[in-house]
A and B are shown apart, each in its own frame.
Chain A
Amino acid sequence: MRAGLVVSAGLLWAPLWTQAGISGGVQDDTGLRFWRLEDRGVSFELVQRLPDQTRAFFQARGFSAEQANEIALGCVFQSIFRNTGAAESGAVTYDLADWVVLVNGTRLPVTLKEAWDRQWQESGVVEPARIAFRWSFLPTRQRYEPGDYNWGMTSYGLPPGATFDLDMAWTRDSDRETARIPGIECAPDLRSLSGDAP
Chain B
Amino acid sequence: MRAAALGLFLFVALFCTASTWAEEGTQTLTLLPERQQAPGFVLKDVNGETHRLSDYRSRVVIVNFWATWCPPCREELPSMQRAWEQIRDEGIAMLGVNVGEDADTIFPFTAYYPMEFPLLMDLDSKVVEDWPVVGLPTTFVLDPEGRLVYRAIGGRRWDDPRLLEKVRGLKARQ
Contact = CB atoms under 8 A, between A and B. Distances in A.
Interface string B149-164: 0011110000000000
Interface of B: 8, 11-12, 15, 25-28, 30, 67, 69-72, 99-100, 123-125, 128, 134-136, 151-154
Q: Which of A11, A139, A148, A152 has the most B CB atoms < 10 Å from its CB?
A: A148
Contacts of B28: 87, 145-148
A63 to B, nearest CB: 13
Interface in A126-156: 127-128, 131-132, 134-136, 138-139, 141-142, 144-152
Given A8-B11, A141-B134, A142-B134, A148 B71 contact: no
Contacts of B99: 131, 135
Contacts of B8: 8
B154 A149 contact: yes
B124 A139 contact: no
Contacts of A120: none
A17 interface: no
B73 to A, nearest CB: 9
B69 A139 contact: no
B72 A132 contact: no
Given A87-B28, A128-B100, A145-B28, A139 B134 contact: yes
A145 B69 CA distance: 24
Contact of A135 (B12, B25, B72, B136): B136
Contacts, number: 73
Interface of A: 8, 10-11, 57, 61, 82, 84, 87, 127-128, 131-132, 134-136, 138-139, 141-142, 144-152
Contacts of B72: 149-151
A10 B85 CA distance: 34
A57 B67 CA distance: 13
What's the dominant secondary structure at chain A's contact region? mixed
A49 B153 CA distance: 23
Given A135-B67, A135-B125, A136-B69, A147 B134 contact: no
B15 A148 contact: no
Contacts of A141: 134
A194 B125 CA distance: 39
A127 B134 CA distance: 18
Given A138-B135, A147-B28, A10 B124 contact: no
Contacts of A11: 15
B156 to A, nearest CB: 8
A58 to B, nearest CB: 11
Nearest to A91: B30
Given A84-B25, A148-B30, A148-B152, A131 B134 contact: no
Contacts of B153: 142, 144-145, 148-150
A11 B15 CA distance: 9
